[in-house]
Amino acid sequence: MAVPSLKPYLPQSLTGRATLILLLPVVILQLVVSVVFIQRHIDDVTAQMSEGVLLELHYLLDEIGDAPTLGEARLVARDLGPKLQIRVTIPAQDELSDGYRWYDLSGWRVISALREGLPEAEVIDLKRSKSSVHMRVPTRYGSVDLRFPRQRISAANPHQLLVLMITTGLLMSAIAYLFLRNQLRPITRLAAAAQAFGKGRHTAYKPSGAREVRAAGLAFLDMRDRIERQIESRTLMLSGISHDLRTPLTRMRLELGLMEESEEVEALTRDVADMERLVNEFLAFARGDALEAPEPVDAAAMLQDFVGRASRGGQPVSLGRCDETGIVQLRPMAVARALDNLVGNAVRYGSHAWVSLEAGRQALILRVEDDGPGIPEAERDQAVKAFARLDPARNQNLPGVGLGLSIAADIARSHGGQLRLGSSASHGGLRADLVLAR
């Protein structure tokens, strides 16, 4: 039979786990040491004190037993009992029950010591009173009740050490937790900076804390700077390529415009237009959203505006579910470009596109569905790669270089999310979920 795992019940945060590692051994050690020490202390003290009490009990019972009459036995109990701090009732009258309370640490040892020294005792009651011991012992005049202070046979405050150790342990644990939290705070700040960078946000971060944490922070800053320089260099290089490619294409378009109209000229003009479109699509993929900074945006309003503009532009697009999101940090132009690619693919391979927005606590889901042929499940991972063509799964005669889904996936990743492809349950075509972290 499989042993149940404790992982679901353990703290998930680094602070919680470090606190558990700090406190659990201390608490267990204190409890074990305290209980063992106190138990030995109780045993030793009870054994020593019970010897004197048992001598007095035997002496008192012998004197009562030697009395010739019941009246004289009562006189002995009246005169000798107070001197020994033992109250005697002849004959027995009290209602007693044998045993002790469950939380009485010394109760078992007290009863054991009394029964060893006075095995004829009928009842030893520690429940009746916290401060006294009640016993019932047989004599020649019947059973007698004996009562004497509890402090005569056991330590008065056996719990003081335990209370002192627990109090001291809690105080020291609280102090240790404060120092531990200060040590973990730099790790939390590093994690927050890395998470923000994964969502495309640049937050101020300064390494601090222990040497290893500072080293990790410096490595993160170095990595972030290299990535930003790489993105900037790529953007500048592609801007230059854009200028170099657009210039000859513009000259070719002008020269074709000056030529007499013919089938060859029209074909060349279409080829030039295709080249311009392909260059623009490639540059949009390579540029991504590197030049745009995140800003507070109402995602619901942004989506409604996008669908309105697409409809006015002649695209068959409808707005479905649109949850209220409030203000979130997004790159609106990049998100609009991703939506434009998804909607463009939807209306290119289908007859209509449906756009919706679902808002969760951790992410926003911008969903685009169509009624086209869709993409087979086995080819969906390949579909989001750059320049991927899934023909004949999708119509090969339709234009495109396979960058639309790749651009959307890149923009989703820059927002700390992903692009998920599936089948539309409502319309039968492709369902593209642009997941953006909040």
Q: Return the pLDDT at 314.
A: 85
pLDDT confidence of residue 57: 92
Is there a domain that residue 202 lies in? no
Average pLDDT, the chain: 82
Residue 399 has pLDDT above 60, yes or no: no
Q: What pLDDT, on the 0 to 100 scale, is given for residue 272?
A: 82
* pLDDT band at 176; cut points 50, 70, 90: confident
- Residues 145-161 have pLDDT tens digits of 999 998 888 765 556 66
Q: Per mean pLDDT, which range of 20-34, 105-119, 310-324 is the poorest?
A: 20-34
In a domain, 391, yes or no: yes
Residues 6+ apart with CB under 8 A from 308: none
Q: Is there a domain that residue 256 lies in?
A: no
CA 160 to centroid of chain Cα atoms: 38
pLDDT at 112 over 80: yes
Structural domain that includes position 106: 11-152
Q: Please state, in angstroms and as integers, the Cα–Cα distance from residue 156 to each residue in 44, 135, 151, 226, 433, following that order.
A: 14, 19, 5, 71, 72
Instruction: Give mean pLDDT, residues 182-200.
Output: 82
Tens digits of residue pLDDT in 253-307: 888 887 888 888 888 888 888 777 777 766 665 555 555 678 888 999 999 999 9
Beta bridge partners, 430, equal: 423
Evaluate whether 408 touches 334 at the Cβ level (below 8 Å).
no
The verdict on residue 51 lying in a domain is yes
Q: How far is 328 from 364, CA to CA, in rounded Å?
A: 10
For residue 243, what are the contacts with CB-CB under 8 A and spacing of at least 6?
none
Q: Is the pLDDT of residue 419 over 80?
A: yes
Of 127-131, 240-244, 252-256, 417-421, where does mean pLDDT reach its minimum?
240-244
Q: How far apart are CA 244 and CA 238, in angstroms?
A: 10
Question: Which of 310-332 are b and which e, b meaning 16 or more Cβ less than 10 Å from the residue's Cβ?
Answer: beeeebebebeebeebeebbbbb
Residue 421 near residue 383 (C-beta atoms within 8 A): yes
Q: Would you state the pLDDT for residue 137?
A: 93
Between vectors from CA 107 to CA 106 and to CA 110, what angle results, nearest 5°? 85
- Residue 18 belongs to domain with CATH number: 3.30.450
Region 24-31: mean pLDDT is: 79
Does a structural domain hold residue 337?
Answer: yes
Q: Would you say residue 209 has pLDDT above 70?
A: yes
What is the number of domains present in the chain?
A: 2
Average pLDDT for residues 398-405, to the nearest whole number? 60
* pLDDT confidence of residue 292: 65
Looking at 148-210, list the stretches that DSSP marks H as alpha helix, in order from N- to C-terminal side: 160-198
In a domain, 3, yes or no: no
Residue pLDDT, tens place only, 61-97: 999 999 999 889 999 999 999 999 999 998 888 788 8
Domain boundary among the residues 117, 152, 187 is at: 152
Return contacts of 186-189, CB within 8 angstroms, 24+ apart.
186/210, 186/213, 186/214, 186/217, 187/14, 187/213, 188/14, 188/15
Q: Would you say residue 426 has pLDDT above 60? A: yes
For residue 131, what pLDDT band results from cuts at 50, 70 and 90?
Answer: confident
335 within domain boundaries: yes
Task: Please state the rounded mean pLDDT for residues 24-53.
Answer: 78
Give yes or no for residue 398 having a pLDDT over 60: no
Ramachandran category for residue 246: left, alpha or beta (phi over 0 → left; psi -120 to 50 → alpha): alpha
Residue 431 pLDDT:
93
Most confident of the ranges 9-23, 235-249, 357-371: 357-371
3-state DSSP assignment of residue 68: coil
pLDDT, residue 395, reads 44
Q: How far apart are CA 93 and CA 373, in angstroms?
A: 97
Percent of the chain with pLDDT over 70: 87
Tens digits of per-residue pLDDT, 344-376?
Answer: 888 888 889 999 999 888 889 999 999 988 888
Q: What's the pLDDT at 393?
A: 44
Which pLDDT score is estimated for 366? 93
Q: How confident is the model at residue 394 (pLDDT cuts 50, 70, 90)?
A: very low
Is residue 241 situated within a structural domain?
no
Contact 429, 371 (CB under 8 A): yes
pLDDT in tens, 369-379: 999 888 888 88
Q: Quick one: pLDDT band at residue 242, thresholds 50, 70, 90? A: low
Count of helices and strands (H, E) across the chain: 10, 11
Last residue of a domain, one of 130, 152, 174: 152
Kindly tell me if the per-residue pLDDT of 396 is higher than 50. Answer: no
Which of 108, 125, 152 is the last residue before a domain boundary? 152
The enclosing domain of 387 has a CATH number of 3.30.565.10
